[in-house]
Amino acid sequence: MVDEVKQLILEQTRKLHRDRAAGEQGFVPGVTPILPSGAVLDEDDRTALVEQALEMRIASGAAALRFERLFARAIGVRKAHLTNSGSAANLLAVASLGAPELGERRLRAGDEVITVAASFPTTVNPLLQHGLVPVFVDVDLRTYNTTLDRIEAALTPKTRAVMMAHTMGNPFPVAEIAQLCRDRGLFLVEDNCDAVLATYQGRVTGTFGDYSTVSFYPAHHLTMGEGGCVLTDSLELARIVESMRDWGRDCWCEPGQDNKCLKRFEYQLGDLPYGYDHKYIFSHVGYNLKTTDIQAALGLSQLTKIADFVDARRRNWQRLREGLDGVPGLILPEATPGSDPSWFGFVITLTEDAGFHRREMVDFLQSRKIGTRLLFAGNLIRQPAYRDAVYRVSGELTNSDIITERTFWIGVYPGVTAEMIDYMVESIKEFAQRRA
């Protein structure tokens, strides 16, 4: 009887979804908003959420563990740990690289970490929050990524790590940078939040570094509403991340599980008395950055569609790229050589002599309901938050400044249709040609 009621509710949930979808209007140019990003949620997603809620699986549990296993496999690393955001994943990656068991390798306050100036703030914030010194390098226009030579030029005896994002889904030259890190004994953290299933030299991004991180916020390739993930191939680093995510505890029992190690009352660690409950022994100064099974249930449902999502992003990007080729005043994006990006958005920089300002173009697009975004923070050191931050700049940040002033992006997420793309192309051309 209970199961019948549940089935009925789930069937009604599907019906609700279909009814809502049937009531949605088709695309009307200039009227229907074209969002730069958004979640694409189908009836399976809605049903997965409702089912998990009906079971009242409200904390992190079996669904989270299952997602971690499947997602690690999808990316091609041994371990994935869910977090409550991509920012939390970056925080955990950096925090865990300071863990005492890493000995001489551990990051310590004052160490330098090379990163890019034109980026998302929470790729860099964990460095500042841990007393590390970000060393900002510039990026190229068109790829919006940095280069090996800029990283090499930024090295000093204090350099201990490189941490940066595959910008807008476009891989940075990660194989070469990973090799440099190995040669120099540096950690590499790939912020893969915007680039799930991109490849570089045929290998999936997020598998080159010591850690990689992912965001499951609705703008991203997969969504859980809020959520994120830290991935690693190292069992040692995975263990540290898990502990730091879960309050810093030494114990590795799953939630609700006791005595997995069969020695629960037989440890003596720190200055604690022998036999102190392992559940309450803390070997790291940790956080609680876990996610919930309700979020994970959505993630599991979304994961079955990841290949289609990435294909749609690539298709949309390509249609924009071809449609906008040769339009005056625009610097169009390019894939990093050797890569197959998993695009987050379509980035456009206006040429210096375009004859119009970014604000004018963005306003015009908005008047046609075409949404735009800036390339995140632009040159981060121009943001008010970093006025008193301790950092170093290596070389000039010319392109990061250009990005701050003349760059914006439009959507390629799977909710954008070919019809919408054609309307975006037509609108941009009309504006640029009229103003050039």
Ligand X SMILES: Cc1ncc(COP(=O)(O)O)c(C=O)c1O
Q: Is 115 in the site for ligand X (CB under 6 A)?
A: no
Of 217 and 391, the one with the shorter C-beta distance to ligand X is 217
Question: Can you tell me which of 194, 233, 246, 293 binds ligand X, judged by CB under 6 A?
Answer: 194
Question: Can you tell me which of 47, 96, 123, 205 binds ligand X, judged by CB under 6 A?
Answer: 123
Query: In the complex, what is the shortest distance from the CB of residue 221 to ligand X, in angstroms, rounded to a whole number?
Result: 11
With beta carbons less than 8 A apart as the criterion, state whether 320 and 421 touch.
Answer: yes
Query: In the complex, what is the shortest distance from the CB of residue 406 to ligand X, in angstroms, rounded to a whole number?
Result: 20
Query: In the complex, what is the shortest distance from the CB of residue 164 to ligand X, in angstroms, rounded to a whole number?
Result: 9
Q: Is 217 in the site for ligand X (CB under 6 A)?
A: yes
Catalytic member of 17, 220, 278, 284:
220
- Spatial neighbors of 26 by CB under 8 A, at least 6 apart, are 32
Of 50 and 164, the one with the shorter C-beta distance to ligand X is 164
Residues 150-169: x/- map of binding to ligand X (CB under 6 A)? ---------------x----
Total of chain residues touching ligand X, rule CB under 6 A:
15
Of 123 and 399, the one with the shorter C-beta distance to ligand X is 123
357 in catalytic set: no
Question: Can you tell me which of 91, 99, 141, 193 binds ligand X, judged by CB under 6 A?
Answer: 193
Q: Is 85 in the site for ligand X (CB under 6 A)?
A: yes
Q: Is 242 in the site for ligand X (CB under 6 A)?
A: no
Range 306-345 burial, b when 16+ CB lie within 10 A, else e: beebbebbbbbbebbbebbeebebbbebbbbeebbbbbbb
Q: Is 122 in the site for ligand X (CB under 6 A)?
A: yes
Question: Can you tell me which of 47, 52, 60, 87 binds ligand X, judged by CB under 6 A?
Answer: 87
The span of 215-223, 232-240, 276-284, 350-358 binding ligand X (CB under 6 A) equals: 215-223
Q: Is 228 in the site for ligand X (CB under 6 A)?
A: yes
What residues numbered 361-400 form the site for ligand X, per CB under 6 A? none
Residues near ligand X (CB under 6 A) are 85-87, 90, 120, 122-123, 165, 191, 193-194, 215, 217, 219, 228
Q: Residues with catalytic annotation?
A: 220
